[in-house]
Structure 1
Amino acid sequence: MIELEQAVALAKQHLTPQTKTERLPIEEAFGRVTAHELLAPIAVPNFERSGMDGYAVFAEDTLAATPERPVYLTVQGSLFAGDDPAGFQAKPGTTVRIMTGGAIPKGYNAVVKQELTDYGEKTVAIQRAVTVGQNFAPIGEDIRPGQMIFPAHSRLNCESIGVLASLGLTEIEVLRPLRVGLLATGNELAQPGQALQAGQIYNSTTFALAQYLRQSGSQVVFRLTCPDDPNQFVQILQQYADQVDLIITTGGVSVGQRDFIPGAIRAISGTELFHFVQMKPGTPLMAATWQHKVILALSGNPFASMVNFHLLYWPLLAHFLGNQQFNLQQRQVPLLVGDSKPRHLRNFMRGQLTPAGVKITPGGHHSSVFHNLVDSNCLIEQPRNQALALGQTVTVYQWPQS
């Protein structure tokens, strides 16, 4: 058996980072990763604009203004957001009434907010002095031309899409997503909607895994169920080999008479990277390569397979896309609720991470128990041969939450 960190490193070595790209409309680019650095093609704003409703002025004209002795200026007219200011010529002793976001006529250098005036329409009384640049947004206040907006391999969030729109962009080049195939193995598996036969359970794990894959931006190429039949297993691999970067299987990977996956992979000249990792649950975790594809063979028990998935998938995705935002985050936090007796292998438990610390999720912690994962958002590490006690500082692993 090898250590978890060795297993992750070996899998990374055989998953080639993505270099293929595609162009997408910006409204379809949420969650995707930029292929290249993006420099601003324009300034935002690309004109001088008012920061509030008021009057565009020469600041020097207002120096003596007080409520008792206001300064009077001639109002040339009004400008609203979207109006062209070219029709106004800035001259000392004059002003233009302007609304928030309006383009300031060239020459004026400040804006007096309308509450500090008498709201005059032909002549306005300015009751307070302003300084140069006051209430005045310069060109490029938000974004300068040529400014670095996103480095290469940046994940685009909701605000990112808005920034792209503010630059007038309609498309962006992004990395192609990780293409994943999901394959649940086992004669005992029935699909939801089917009647259960004696000894059968419903396939559940790959439904959860598919949602994690899609949520993280990966493409689920297939989600299938395969009986304990190595020939069918190999047929599925051969059918989809050219369409995926990563294949994730569940079940069939331990040492039972029907744990056929290791032998099936050897039979098609696959190369085993590792088999069995020093961890609980999910010790039989295996990885192999075949036709330049990585195969992750997870445990068949639901919780064990989720532990295997979280501890391997997120580091692989971060490596594939060149962005550590996708990686697991390790934190040292106090244990607020729960304890655990020593275990002979490094153990991972369901946890509920809060701002104050972490709680061991209540309920069964057997690898076959799935339902209480609904209330978990992290894994708690229990080092081998060490107990966990209330108040102790523990290591938690949290995957990206959106």
Structure 2
Amino acid sequence: MYNIELEEAIGLILNSIEAIEDVEVIDLQDALGRILAEDFYAPVDNPPFDRSPLDGFALRSVDTANASEDKPVKFKVIDRVYAGSPSSKSLGSFEAIRIMTGGKIPAGADCVIRLEDCEVVGDGVIIKNKLEAFQNYCFQGEDIKRGNLLLEKGTKLNAIHLGVLGSMGQARVKAFRKPRVGILVTGDEIIDYTEPLLDGKIYDTNGILLASRLRELGFEVIKIDGQGDCPKAVAQAIKENMDALDLLITTGGVSVGDKDILHEVIDLIGGKRLFWRVRLKPGTPAMYTIFKDKPILSLSGNPFAALATFELLCRPLLAKLSKDTTIKTKRVKAIMLDDFNKKSKNRRFIRCIYKDGRVGLPKGGHSSGMLLSMKDCNALIDIEAGNMGLKKNDIVDVVIL
């Protein structure tokens, strides 16, 4: 398909792929940000025993029934309990056991008095107030009951989730495999940023930009060595690497110039082109292909155009591949803080700074080849085709990056 709307392009992408179902068993310490591949049920209670929530003395509430300021009751302290070191003793009448926060409630005790609410005298403790049964008392399973569903399949694991899993003694978890994303930058003019800059050459911006963005989103990146503008070399590189990838992103070579080689490359590899050109700026010449039942998303070589179309087209693709719904493109309404007087014949996305329901424009150029003015931006304004310009206080659609 040719020259289609953004939403149609996204629909074609999503209808052409399936989520990755491969499952890995990984160490808990490596599970942050991963997608849980099975429901997780509590294998044990938490806490695993009745315990004290504070420092004090464990005792029998019945023995405090008549305690008061006028008639204090003295208890004999027979043992001491630390967290992790339970007592083997059972309380009798008017006996107490010194207990620390997290300590296991000893047999016979049904309450804990705060250390600051009693008076320690020699080998005893004086109580001056009545305690109720189970006062200052944490029950076994109070937080988590064995057999309860704690985390659902498809959950993106965060620090709290890992804490819950750790509290259950879960050393390893089942997670869906992360997509492996390849990046291939075309262009004879491109050299690696580690090399000296030569006359007529430019440094590879898109490779490091997109690889870093992918890593920010939690994906594994495989950099494919640049093959310049040689269609056969680029085609061969794709053939050699595609089996190891779940998605290939290319930049450059998708327009109509003499060195825009991706059309020939797709023919050489026998790929199925689903669309070319999307009705938006920047990034109009974006192309999408299926090869070996895997997606190839080809973006403009201009850095801002590549970034914008990555956010608009690739994030929905990655969300489906990975089952990670948190990386789907998010949209909000916002109030303009500035004027943008440029007329937009085509649908346009411009960089902006979003905060608290308002958007401002950065200093610097908005050209698709300019990246510096993007450094403080965190969103894109979606301007409809035919717009005559935006004014301060206009309500606009914003894509959050």
| Separation (CA, whole Å) in 2 of partners of 1:42 and 1:64 | 39
Partner amino acid, structure 2, of 1:195? P
SS of the residue aligned with 2:337? strand
Question: Alpha-carbon deviations, 1:128-156, whole Å to 9, x = none?
Answer: 33333332211122222122222112112
Distance in 2 of aligned mates of 1:206 and 1:90: 70
Matched residues in 2 for 1:22 and 1:276: separation? 37
Map of 1:185 onto structure 2:
186
Give 1:78's aligned amino acid. R
The partner residue of 1:35 within 24, 34, 37 is 37
Q: Deviations over 1:231-284 (max 9, x none)?
A: 011110111011001000001001112111022202322111111111111011
Once residues 96 and 354 of structure 1 are traced to their aligned partners in structure 2, the CA distance between those partners, rounded to angstroms, is 56
Distance in 1 (CA, whole Å) between partners of 2:393 and 2:72 is 67
Range that drifts further, 10-19 or 219-228 = 219-228
Q: Distance in 1 between matches of 2:364 and 2:34?
A: 36
Distance verdict in 2 for CA 1:389–1:175, change over 3 Å: same
* 1:397 to partner: Cα distance: 1.6
Match of 1:359 in 2: 360
Residue from 24, 27, 31 that aligns with 1:22 = 24
- Residue aligned with 1:32, SS: coil
The 1:109/1:329 distance shift into structure 2, 3 A limit, reads farther
Alpha-carbon offset, residue 17 of structure 1: 0.4
Question: Which amino acid letter does the alignment assign opposite residue 73 of structure 1?
Answer: F
**1:317–1:65: structure 2 CA closer, same or farther, 3 Å change rule?**
farther
- Tell me how far apart the structure 2 counterparts of residues 70 and 355 of structure 1 sit (CA, whole Å): 59
In the alignment, which residue of structure 1 is the partner of 2:398?
396
Q: Once the two structures are superposed, what CA deviation does each residue of 1:154-191 show, in whole Å capped at 9, x if it has no partner?
A: 11222322222211121111111101110111111111
2:86 to 84, 87, 101: 84
- Secondary structure, aligned partner of 2:226: strand
C-alpha change, 1:312 and 1:117, in structure 2 (3 Å) is: same
Query: SS at the partner of 2:317?
Result: helix
Residue of structure 2 in register with 1:45 after alignment: 47
* Aligned equivalent of 1:61, options 60, 63, 88: 63
- For 2:325 and 2:221, the matched residues in 1 are separated by 21
Q: Which residue of 1 aligns with 2:173?
A: 172
Name the amino acid aligned to 1:216. Answer: L
2:148, 2:318 → 1: CA distance? 29
Per-residue deviation at 1:338? 4.5
Instruction: Name the SS of the counterpart of 2:221 in structure 1.
Output: strand
Counterpart-to-counterpart distance in 2, 1:212 and 1:255: 28
Contact kept, 8 Å, 2:224 with 2:237, in 1: the verdict is no
Q: Deviations over 1:13-37 (max 9, x none)?
A: 2222010011111111222111111
Distance 1:356 1:62 in 2: 59
Q: 2:15 aligns with which of 13, 16, 19?
A: 13
Question: Which amino acid is 1:5 matched to?
Answer: E
User: In the TM superposition, what are the counterparts of 1:108-187 in structure 2 within 5 Å?
Assistant: 108-120=109-121, 122-187=123-188
Partners of 2:308 and 2:23 lie apart in 1 by 31
CA contact (8 A) 2:239 2:269 kept: no
Structure 2: gaps spanning 5 or more residues: none
1:334, 1:357 within 8 Å by CA — same for their partners in 2?
A: yes
Q: Which residue in the other structure is 2:279 paired with?
A: 278
Contact 1:206 1:223 in 2 (8 A): no
Confirm or deny: 8 A CA contact 2:46 2:141 kept in the other structure. Answer: yes
* 2:196 corresponding residue in structure 1: 195
In structure 1, what is the equivalent of residue 251 of structure 2? Answer: 250
Contact 2:52 2:103 in 1 (8 A): yes
What is the CA–CA distance in structure 2 between the aligned matches of 1:389 and 1:91, rounded to whole Å? 80
Identity %: 34
Measured after TM superposition, the shift of residue 93 of structure 1 is 2.8
Contact 1:153-1:321 at 8 Å conserved across structures? no
Q: Normalized against structure 1, the TM-score is what?
A: 0.94
Partners of 1:244 and 1:138 lie apart in 2 by 50
| Alpha-carbon distance in structure 1 between the residues aligned to 2:19 and 2:208 | 26
Please state how far the C-alpha of 1:121 moved relative to its aligned partner. Answer: 5.2
Structure 2 distance, partners of 1:398, 1:68, is 67
- Counterpart-to-counterpart distance in 2, 1:313 and 1:285: 11
CA change 1:231–1:144 in 2 (3 A) is same
Query: For the residues of structure 1 that align with 2:322 and 2:344, how far apart are their CA atoms?
Result: 36
Identify if the C-alpha distance between structure 1 residues 380 and 54 changes in structure 2 by more than 3 Å, giving closer, same or farther: same
Question: How far, CA to CA, are the matches of 2:282 and 2:71 in structure 1?
Answer: 81
Deviation at 1:113, TM superposition (A): 0.6
**Counterpart secondary structure, 1:50:** coil
Size of the aligned set, in residue pairs, is: 398
* SS of residue in 2 equivalent to 1:164: helix
* 2: CA distance, partners of 1:194 / 1:334: 44
Offset at 1:39? 1.1
What root-mean-square deviation, in Å, do the aligned CA atoms of Structure 1 and Structure 2 show?
1.8
